[in-house]
Amino acid sequence: MHQTVQIKRKIMAKNLVIVESPAKAKTIEGYLGKDYVVKSSFGHVRDLAKKGVAIDVANDFLPNYEVSADKKQVVAELKKLAKEAETVWLATDEDREGEAISWHLYETLNLQKKETKRITFNEITKTAILKAIDNPRQINQELVNAQQARRVLDRLVGFELSPVLWKKVRPSLSAGRVQSVAVRLIVDREKEIIKHATESFFRVNGIFSSKNGKIKAELSKQLSDNIQASELLYACKSAAFKVGDVQKKPATKSPSAPFTTSTLQQEASLKLGFSVSRTMSVAQRLYEAGKITYMRTDSVNLSETAINGAKAEIEHAYGTNYSKPTKYTTKNSSAQEAHEAIRPTDFSAHSITGEREDERLYDLIWKRAIASQMAHAQLERTTIKIVTDAIDEVFNAKGEVIKFDGFLRVYMESNIEQEENEEDEVAEDGLLPAVEVGEVLNNDEITATERFSRAPSRYVEASLVKKLEELGIGRPSTYAPTISTIQKRGYVEKVEREGDLRSYQVFKLKNQQVVDEVKTETTGKEKNKLSPTDIGIVVTDFLQEHFDLIMDYNFTAKVEHEFDEIANGMLKWTDMIHQFYDPFHKNVEDTLENSERASGERELGFHPVSGKRIIVRIGRFGPMVQVGDEQTDGEKPQFASLQKNQSIGNISLEDALELFKLPRSLGEFEELTVKANVGRFGPYIQHGKIFASIPKEESPMDITFDRAVEIILLKREADANKIIKIFSEDEDYQLLNGRWGAYLKVGKNNFKLPKGTDAEKLTFEECKEIEASQAKPARKSIGKAAPKAKAKPKAKTATKAKAKPAAKK
């Protein structure tokens, strides 16, 4: 009875509030009274139609929007509630994406202007929600148009560029306005690394004893080779060292500005090891739970309320001398709208209770925000110069002492053990013993160690975000999706490198004896670094050759600036699209007509027996080695796929020849030959009709017979668990367990089962009915077929919901 009354109350509520997510809806509903019902749209309710380009190019780029199939029920429920409500409050996020969601809701639900109010807030607290209700506005069409321009431009670029890649490089490839430039950054960095020529030098460090303690110091210059290093140490054997100078200078250490999206992603990567997408997922949860402000922002600004809240908490927790209210300004002139930096909604909450990753990210955000409003740390920096008549160079020892900790107090009280250890280590290393000018020092030990110049580092996700932001490419809402996309598309991958052993020379002077020894170290060890794949390099080179404007960093940044101008009402969005599209479309047609195919082909040499030419290139299913050429040799060439750790750029002739030793016959099991091979989907074991994948950390070149049998048995067990039922009437009809639940397989086609169906109870006749009821298979056995390439999107009349180009204010 109580439940019925509750449902009736909600349906008859005077006010309907619509937000994007259920978690956000739940938090907001707790702040509003019985006259409000809060519902979620579960993100966008409509988008550009999936079929075709969905943009009428001839009709001023009129978009053709449609409600996605999975949102029809949501839309139907919202329409019903909107009709019953007196006022509909669109409370989606405050950025362009959120504004566009509100506009799509307005259009799709057929809302009336006088009954619809748009509200925004950058934190989900009772105060912020009630303030927003008191200050409603209309939908900002300029913000909508900026998002619409981005969506239309990206669809046009993807729709026209991708077929070029299908024809000129390989089927099923894709290109995008921002994603292709992001891949270019990674490809360019890889080329820099390959070009880098390592040079060695010697770094000299000494340990000296004074009457008050030991001093660690470094020689003022690096030495170019082992001859110089040896000569210097021999010169120091009988040298007398003394303190040549002592300088003490006051210094201050300033706190960093509060987090923006990109700086949060960078710090969470560095301190917590979070990926960019994981950081955004956790931050979203914290925002929707009312713990932090909106997490997609490029502003470092804090509101007066926030500054006052931080001031009160600092004075309460640490004392008035620790408080220094500070206003930060955003250096980026194109920072979107008047957003705040990411901060806690309640500065008095030093920590939260919840999921471990939520607690850790909140801790990071709270410290950064509170520290930004605290006094600078006061330091005393000391430099001791150690001299001798035996050499021209001096040894420098540097240290610092904290006179007043200021904002560092927050980090010294850390709950994270690692940070505590870091602070202890810094404090200990910063101390230098008290010495006087002219004081004689004992030379305990001097070491000259060979070091090497470093190639530029490969990007991690967070450093790529930093670079994109520096170049003005993308915005806070696009960083994480861009980085996910380029990895999903196979253009970029995270490669774990074990590194290589390297020898280095060390000269050590101790007890008046110079010892020369050779040591080894591992260099090049990497984890979670972004590397371009072969196809990523080939596609990038092709696009740079034929679409240099799209791939230009400055041009991409200029487009972002134009989106900002649209958002500010200074540029009509369709004019901006026209200016871009007309020359771009001509470029596409010219490339389709006149360019050569790109395969990244590289000649490795000639076969030692047949004398046939051996090349490595991109094939239909990925990078491969080819022996011979049908036109030259009159015979069909041989092919072999590259292994996981090989690439077009680094494979040698010897390694390429090894690949043709596959398939390897490992022995017989149950009277059938067991083979190891590499195929379209990677390395595998074959045993009769069984094909079992070899785990990625293992190689078909050295896998043993016993291990292969183990893989075969595991595959059998997995297949047995997959089968629910095979029908004796026709063995092509099978009920199987899949990744998304039970399904019907008929021959090579898969069919969805009706919701709530018990697969084990289905009869053969019922399965035939399911097959007949679905005109097309729900899912092909190997992915979806790529749509046919189109050179030019045809203008068509939008039959679904149409977007009217908005008039300027």
Catalytic residue numbers read 294
Q: Hey, which residues does 710 pair with through a beta bridge? A: none
The tokens describing 119, both together, are 């509200």
Instruction: Give the residue ranges of DSSP H helices in 595-725.
Output: 630-633, 653-659, 705-722
Question: Using an 8 Å Cβ cutoff, are 116 and 90 in contact?
Answer: yes
How far apart are alpha carbons 21 and 413 in whole angstroms?
36
**440-452 and 664-669 beta bridge pairing:** unpaired
Question: Using an 8 Å Cβ cutoff, are 482 and 490 in contact?
Answer: no
Side-chain-side CA neighbours of 327 within 13 Å: the count stands at 4
277: left (phi over 0), alpha (psi -120 to 50) or beta: alpha
Q: Cβ–Cβ contacts within 10 Å for residue 547, how many?
A: 19
Task: Give which of 197, 194, 155 is closest to 55, Cα–Cα.
Answer: 155
- Is the backbone peptide bond immediately before 793 cis, with ω within 30 degrees of 0? no
Distances (CA, A) of 622 to 171, 208, 495, 616, 684: 10, 59, 17, 11, 16
**In 3-state terms, what secondary structure has residue 386?**
strand
Phi, psi (deg, nearest 5) at residue 400: -140, 150
**492-497 and 513-523 beta bridge pairing:** unpaired
514: left (phi over 0), alpha (psi -120 to 50) or beta: beta
DSSP assigned state of 272: I
How far apart are alpha carbons 636 and 631 in whole angstroms?
9
How many residues are recorded in the chain? 809
Side-chain-side CA neighbours of 674 within 13 Å: the count stands at 21
**36-40 and 395-404 beta bridge pairing:** unpaired
Angle, in degrees to the nearest 10, between helices 461-471 and 553-567: 70
**In 3-state terms, what secondary structure has residue 354?**
coil
Q: What's the Rg (C-alpha) of the chain? A: 33
Question: Using an 8 Å Cβ cutoff, are 82 and 14 in contact?
Answer: no
How far apart are alpha carbons 450 and 55 in whole angstroms?
62
Phi, psi (deg, nearest 5) at residue 712: -60, -45
Question: Using an 8 Å Cβ cutoff, are 154 and 147 in contact?
Answer: no
